Amino acid sequence: MRHLYFYTFLPLYILALLYLAITLPIGPHEATLYYEGQGVLSILTHLCKGCFSNNLDFRLPFLLFGFLNIPLFYIMSRFYLDKKEESYLATTIFLLLPGIITSTVLVNIAVVVITLVLIFLIFYKQKIWVGVVLTMVTLLLIHDASIIFFIAIVVFSVYKRNSQLLIFSIILALVGIFYFNGLEIDGTPTGEFLQLFGLYIALFSPFVFLYFFYALYRIWLREEKNLLWFISFLSFIFSILLSLRQQVDMTDFAPYVIVSVVLMLVVYYKTFSVRLPVFQKPYRWGFNIVIGSLIISSLVTIFHQPLFYLLDDKSKHFAYPFYEPYWQVLELHEIEQNCYTVKKNNVQYQLKYYGIEKCEESTVPKIHRY
């Protein structure tokens, strides 16, 4: 990807995410975190409270982390790809992933974890061991499910026979297990495997996920296994195994899986470069199809509002939980009603954010449901 194309894409991308962050109403999970969140998320969601009088009041810190990930991912990709043009392309693909777009715009811990993972990888490659240690400790403190990350580091350390990194990662893994215990493994087997794959498809987009799966598998069989592969592969496998027993929270695994998108380009360029020019055409076509599907998925994610007009049943829209309470607020304002009661607490918090409190009386105003 040429320098000019990349730096033309970046400002358009940033403006698109700003547009999405401002126009998308507060979601049920975001509203719950806003009023009940603790720790880092609580601090970040209230950091800009009252500064903009729009949704940037609680989303701006996460946008900034998402924008910080742009140069961090580019720097990280330079350690794995030979040319700047290849790193430009890898960064563009990373930014267009639906999972990256949503994690940048919505209130969640994933975008912060991605930042720390990228910083860790950069420090490790540059052998800045103080930075490696500080980043690992920070991950332990802010991400309840960082045990996944530390287990991957333990396995990698054994594979590379790095005793110092092995000892330190084991210590952090044990601290995570006995003192934080953020990753819950309990209940009876429910078989959430297909649902998990659906979430991964939504995270990457269909064709990108298929190639991502192929890239991880190919590296396992044939290619050099680096630190990034261990983090991504073991997190992915662990999420699959856990899904056989219980429902998986994607924010526990996605930050460690999605950063390895650069490995897809590594596999692609290796496969492409060993072919004679006459045999490269099918690979170019396949690449264009994958990128085309990714662009479509990202555009649908950003400019999703017109899809409401195409659906007879608006509840089938993936963003409906964001918009329904907001539409109710607009109708309540029209009838000058300042309270409304719903059964779900997270929806009640959405209404509360827009100034609609829970009614004390048993009667609830009847308004039209979209």
List, for residues 24-39, the tens digit of each pLDDT value.
999 999 999 999 888 8
Any idea which residue has 């194309």 for tokens? 5
Distances (CA, A) of 129 to 120, 134, 136: 10, 9, 11
pLDDT more than 90, % of the chain: 57
Average pLDDT, integer, range 202-212: 91
The pLDDT value recorded for residue 343 is: 87
Taking 90 as the threshold, does the pLDDT of residue 114 lie above it? yes
Beta carbons within 10 angstroms of residue 120's beta carbon: 24
The pLDDT value recorded for residue 3 is: 84
The pLDDT value recorded for residue 18 is: 95
Average pLDDT, integer, range 244-270: 87
Q: Is the full-model pTM beyond 0.85?
A: yes
Q: What confidence tens digit (pLDDT) does each residue in 45-91 have? A: 999 888 888 899 999 999 999 999 999 999 999 999 989 999 999 99
pLDDT more than 70, % of the chain: 92
Task: Give the highest mean pLDDT range of 41-45, 63-67, 216-220, 262-266.
Answer: 63-67
Q: What is the helix, strand, coil percentage profile of the chain, to 5?
A: 70, 0, 25
Average pLDDT, integer, range 210-238: 91
| CB hemisphere CA count around 59 (13 angstroms) | 26
The pLDDT value recorded for residue 52 is: 87
Distances (CA, A) of 179 to 64, 136, 171: 30, 16, 12
Confidence of residue 370 (pLDDT cuts 50, 70, 90): very low
Taking 80 as the threshold, does the pLDDT of residue 227 lie above it? yes
Confidence of residue 188 (pLDDT cuts 50, 70, 90): low
Confidence of residue 278 (pLDDT cuts 50, 70, 90): low
